[in-house]
Amino acid sequence: MRRALPGSSDDDIRVGCGPLIAPWSEQMRPLRQQVFDRVRASGLVARVQLAKDLGVSPASVTTMTSELIEAGLIEEVAVPRETDSGRGRPAVALGVRGAAHCVVGMKLSDREHTAVVVDLAGNMLADEVVAREPGPCSLSDLLDAVEHLLDQVCAKAGLARHDLSAVGIGVPGFVDHAEGMVHWSSTLTERAVPLAAAAQARIGLPVTIDNDANLVALAELWFGAGRTLADFAVVTIEHGVGMGFVMNHRIYRGAQRLGLELGHTKVQLDGALCRCGQRGCLEAYVADYALAREAVTALNLNHNQTLSMPVLLESLYQHAKAGNATARSIFRRAGRYLAMGLANVVNLFDPALIILSGERMKYDYLYAAETLAEMQDLVINSGRPRPPIEIHAWGDLLWAHGAAALALSAVTEKALSVQRDIAAQ
């Protein structure tokens, strides 16, 4: 199953964005936040329906929505009635006022950088992709790239930096979202880098950061298949192997906020060398560089033949499609290790859905029928149905959309906190 990237929507056709959270899980959240999030998730919603969805009185909804309208966060939108004959006043629904805030979401990788601009309602205003030389770089060079990418995507959207409210950034590796710290990343030569603070100082805007796989899960939670699910897992396969897990409509990061590193779970003692420096990691058998390492042998390349990673992998795939037994065996081996990793995810977390995403999803050998069947065999036999697996090939902008959702979360929390402070005075 393949999904298209979310784009901008007309004022009278709003699909909404953000998780559609069931009322029972919202009881500990302030009503003002519940109202705003429900309006944004619905796209357009009538006050009476809003009260019904949240299980609160119409009077409470009227009070909260009036405050949000006065703050400029939501607005009334005239919509045609289903049986409108053209006479009388049109129905009025509530929608998020997209122009209230704009944010940028970025995904930084060791091959290319992507960015999107979205408004408060989640509508995409512009996007940009900038290629770069493969490999890690210094913090200074990465900040240069952030600044360049920001200016490029803002120019496309017709915005200046001061028109933005926040920037979200995703990078691969071990990222502490709360501290804004990158402990290790394939994009950086240094370790223990305070990337959020450094980027904020450079561009003069609030910056939040997270692991890129978490941002894919966030993109699915806000814009994709996860909007109606309380619990699901996203496994990404491209330059590395990542995992994001949503628990009760929220990204789960672990006690030290560095959890869910599926790619660095061990599948072979003293096995292949992983780019993290350890051996036997799942990533060392499934990721780009693992396939490329095997491809050099399969394609009978000598050390003087230097092909780029994309060309090398595409050649390996074409050889496999043409019947090359060695090329096929490389994908089959990677698929078996992936099956082991997915089975462990099911046995540990019992998710309602597993989504496979990332650039390598175009290589169908990795999720062939025999691979998924092997995964099913490795899952504990409880007598209950296994979780479904969906293949989502959104493309590179998916990651940036997750970063934008991260920034929108920060902006929303700040705006609603200001409203709470005003109401308390």
* C-alpha distance from residue 104 to each of 40, 117, 152, 249, 336 (Å): 18, 5, 11, 23, 38
What CATH number matches the domain at 101-217+398-416, 3.20.20.100, 3.30.420.40, 3.40.50.300, 3.40.47.10? Answer: 3.30.420.40
Pair 215, 230: CB distance under 8 Å: no
pTM: 0.83
Q: What is the 3-state secondary structure (H, E, C) of 207-245?
A: EEEEEHHHHHHHHHHHHCHHHHCCCEEEEEECCCEEEEE
Intervals of the chain under pLDDT 50? 1-4, 8-9, 24-26
Phi/psi region, residue 277 (left: phi>0; alpha: psi -120 to 50; beta: rest), is left
Residues 33 and 416: their CA atoms lie apart, in Å, by 7
β-strands 102-108, 74-79 pairing: unpaired
Please count the other Cβ atoms lying within 10 Å of the Cβ belonging to residue 370. 12
Find residue 356's DSSP bridge partners: 235, 391
Pair 257, 179: CB distance under 8 Å: yes
Please count the other Cβ atoms lying within 10 Å of the Cβ belonging to residue 8. 13
Q: What 3-state class would DSSP assign to 385?
A: coil
Amino acid 343: pLDDT = 94
Residues 317 and 361: their CA atoms lie apart, in Å, by 12
CATH for 229-394 is 3.30.420.40
- Regarding the domain delimited by 23-99, which CATH topology (the fold level of the hierarchy) does it fall under? Arc Repressor Mutant, subunit A (1.10.10)
CATH 1.10.10.10 residue ranges for the chain: 23-99
**Residue whose token pair is 């036997």:** 280
Amino acid 3: pLDDT = 47
**Residue whose token pair is 């934008």:** 404
CATH 3.30.420.40 residue ranges for the chain: 101-217+398-416, 229-394
